[in-house]
Structure 1
Amino acid sequence: MADKDPELSIIIPVFNEQNAIWPFLTTMQNALSELHETIEYVFVDDGSTDATVQEIRSRMDSDLQIKLLVLSRNFGKDSALAAGLMHASGRAAIPIDVDLQDSPNVIPEMVTKWHAGAKVVNAKRVDRKNDSPLKRQSARLYYRIFNAMAEYPIPPDVGDFRLIDRQVIDILNTMPEKARFNKDLFSWVGFESAEVIFDRQARQTGRTKWSFWKLWNFGLDGLFGASTVPLRLWSYLGFCLAIASFIYAVYVLIRTVLFGIDTPGYASTLIIILFFGGLNMLSVGILGEYVGRIYREVRDRPLYIIQQTYESREEK
């Protein structure tokens, strides 16, 4: 890397966060004031419709080294993060949310563990006290299901907030997946890792952009993208049902030969038809999830489109 390149890149995906930019930069400056590393801030605007871009550009006249990538529309946080990693210049990068829920005060500790040899330093939250009871329970259940099915488990209560070494960044940038689930990718690459603990705060400004439906689809992308276990489980279930059906058919045949034909029951017939019809629909749905992801990969459309790039005291 060139000598002029920064040592640490802070990657911040943003979407309609105009009121959060100034508090974020102020807090980051205070938290990182003792670090000796040169720092760049890589903002990725994910199709904001407010004045987020103008607010970030107005901060480029300060002494901070700021890079702004403006995407042509909203591609989603994981795609925006992929754009930030691709354009980060530092020897290490730290993705962080602009809402300050992830504590910048643990970044110096992350840098210390990075200097000690860790290639990935995960930031694990102490608890989820600021989440609703439903979100806490659903997150805990999701992590259990995911890690039971995934080939490479992800650490629970660890989000995108982590330090990633340049060696890891370069590998992540070669991964062409269109259905991005970065937590799984960070786990898949391996390398020596360390962990810091922090207390996640309540959101300082604005409101979350994650609706229940978005979280649901995001979770499915992660589960189906990281594992083929759902297909394998359905194969096992289909095999067991086939054996059970064969045994029942033999039973009916023997009973008919020995005792004659009973009057067929409408209720039992309807129940069997509905049961196997529901199983067929569910199996087709699972296959459809995988086929849809194959279709997305085969089209090979870009993960994101950059409309404009700005850098401190320079416009491109």
Structure 2
Amino acid sequence: MPRTELLTVVIAAHNEEAALPLLHPRLMKVLDGLDLEASVLYVDDGSRDGTWELLRSFADADPRVGVLRLARNFGKEAALTAGLDQVDADAAVVLDADGQDPPELIPELVARWREGWEVVYGTRMSRDGESWLKRFTAAAFYRVMDRLSDTAVPRDTGDFRLMSRPVLEALRQLRERQRFMKGLFAWVGFRQLAFPYAREPRLAGGSKFNYWRLWNLALEGITSFSTVPLRLATYVGVLTALLAFVWGLWIVVRTLAWGDPVQGWPTMMTVILFLGGLQLVALGIIGEYLGRLYLEAKQRPLYLVAEMRLPAQANPLPHV
């Protein structure tokens, strides 16, 4: 008899005890309607509320539900990596725990996968429930990444996507510590298809990504997939040095020709502060890249698992 196709839905959760009871029944109803063997793997990223106890109750009630608890909060990128590392299926779907990405769209992702696409990623046509500032900054970030990076990161695209087994095996080879998953998903390549959809408001609770964390994530993305800031710092430094040389030559010529009756305090302070500011900005950019080299050199694990119970499968594949 032909082997049944296997699908695993990976969900990383951090302090989502309010949203998960609303999302889980919807998800299981969708999986019940699929004509393949489907399971769910929840990853608890060091939650401090009742998220872990809730996830264990899901696993106790249904053998198709697996749970994985990290030793502490390692961040969403590491939590997704931990979940995808454990997937042993023909395809995996990454879904957010807040319910903004409708699980009811999974059958359509599966249909595109069966057409031959190895990655089907959701492109947000609308972002209900989000402020205009967050929508604006998100749109700006994707467009900046598009200009700076050699890797084409799809615009207005989050983590919601389906990936085939070859893509999952390729992702397991990428063990860099400073992870920007949206960029890694794009970097591996394979046949990828955009799937437009309308993003819904959160089911409950509040976003765990404030503007400071989003800013740090943007820095991770830019520094992980582009060296343009370093090159820009070089160009700005060369241009500033040329302007300073021309300005200094002009001061010498003016002094020799007409003297210097003015003390020049404002001009001197302006030049010193301007050049000092540029130097500090350049040092900051270099420091960002140097800090990432430092973290990579230590070779610490991406995450540590405290407890794990994988979902049951009807006919598991050999682990690679």
Match of 1:34 in 2: 33
Match of 1:258 in 2: 257
**Contact 1:6–1:40 (8 Å) recurs in 2:** no
Match of 2:200 in 1: 201
1:164 is matched by which residue type in structure 2? M
Q: Percent identity?
A: 38
2:230 is matched by which residue type in structure 1? L
Match of 2:176 in 1: 177
Match of 1:68 in 2: 67
**Contact 2:40–2:311 (8 Å) recurs in 1:** no
State how 1:6-85 maps to structure 2 within 5 Å.
7-85=6-84
1:288 is matched by which residue type in structure 2? G
Match of 2:93 in 1: 94
Taking the aligned partners of 2:157 and 2:70, their CA distance within structure 1 comes to: 26
Q: Deviations over 1:73-92 (max 9, x none)?
A: 00000000000010011111
Question: Aligned-pair distance for 1:50?
Answer: 2.1
2:294 is matched by which residue type in structure 1? Y
Match of 2:221 in 1: 222
**Contact 1:95–1:160 (8 Å) recurs in 2:** yes
**Contact 1:24–1:98 (8 Å) recurs in 2:** yes
Taking the aligned partners of 1:205 and 1:241, their CA distance within structure 2 comes to: 51
Distance 1:136 1:21, change over 3 A: closer
Match of 2:318 in 1: none
Taking the aligned partners of 1:129 and 1:26, their CA distance within structure 2 comes to: 22
**Contact 2:127–2:200 (8 Å) recurs in 1:** no
Q: Deviations over 1:225-253 (max 9, x none)?
A: 11110000111111111121222233233
Distance 1:4 1:58, change over 3 A: farther
> What TM-score do the two structures reach when normalised by structure 1?
0.93
Question: Aligned-pair distance for 1:4?
Answer: 8.5
**Contact 1:40–1:90 (8 Å) recurs in 2:** no
Structure 1 stretch 232-241 or stretch 261-270: which is displaced more?
Answer: 261-270
Q: Deviations over 1:153-174 (max 9, x none)?
A: 2111110000111111111111
1:9 is matched by which residue type in structure 2? T
**Contact 1:70–1:308 (8 Å) recurs in 2:** yes
SS of alignment partner, residue 101 of structure 1: coil
Question: Aligned-pair distance for 1:288?
Answer: 0.8
**Contact 1:111–1:163 (8 Å) recurs in 2:** yes
Distance 1:226 1:5, change over 3 A: farther
1:175 is matched by which residue type in structure 2? L
Distance 1:23 1:200, change over 3 A: same
Match of 1:275 in 2: 274
2:224 is matched by which residue type in structure 1? G
Taking the aligned partners of 2:16 and 2:85, their CA distance within structure 1 comes to: 22
Taking the aligned partners of 1:144 and 1:288, their CA distance within structure 2 comes to: 24
Question: Aligned-pair distance for 1:203?
Answer: 0.6
Taking the aligned partners of 2:105 and 2:160, their CA distance within structure 1 comes to: 10
SS of alignment partner, residue 308 of structure 2: strand
Q: Does 1:153 align with 2:144?
A: no
**Contact 2:65–2:310 (8 Å) recurs in 1:** yes
> What TM-score do the two structures reach when normalised by structure 2?
0.92
Match of 2:127 in 1: 128
Question: Aligned-pair distance for 1:145?
Answer: 1.4
SS of alignment partner, residue 126 of structure 1: strand
Taking the aligned partners of 2:227 and 2:173, their CA distance within structure 1 comes to: 22
2:147 is matched by which residue type in structure 1? A
Taking the aligned partners of 2:97 and 2:131, their CA distance within structure 1 comes to: 21
Moved runs in structure 1, 4+ residues, more than 4 A? 3-6
Structure 1 stretch 225-234 or stretch 148-157: which is displaced more?
Answer: 148-157
Taking the aligned partners of 2:79 and 2:3, their CA distance within structure 1 comes to: 25
2:176 is matched by which residue type in structure 1? E
Structure 2 gap ranges (5+): 313-320
CA RMSD after TM alignment: 1.9
Match of 2:107 in 1: 108
State how 1:264-303 maps to structure 2 within 5 Å.
264-303=263-302
Match of 1:168 in 2: 167
Structure 1 stretch 257-266 or stretch 276-285: which is displaced more?
Answer: 257-266
Taking the aligned partners of 1:22 and 1:267, their CA distance within structure 2 comes to: 64
Taking the aligned partners of 1:91 and 1:112, their CA distance within structure 2 comes to: 14
Question: Aligned-pair distance for 1:6?
Answer: 6.3
Taking the aligned partners of 2:188 and 2:99, their CA distance within structure 1 comes to: 27
Match of 1:308 in 2: 307
Structure 1 stretch 25-34 or stretch 171-180: which is displaced more?
Answer: 25-34
Taking the aligned partners of 1:214 and 1:262, their CA distance within structure 2 comes to: 53
Count of aligned pairs between the two proteins: 312
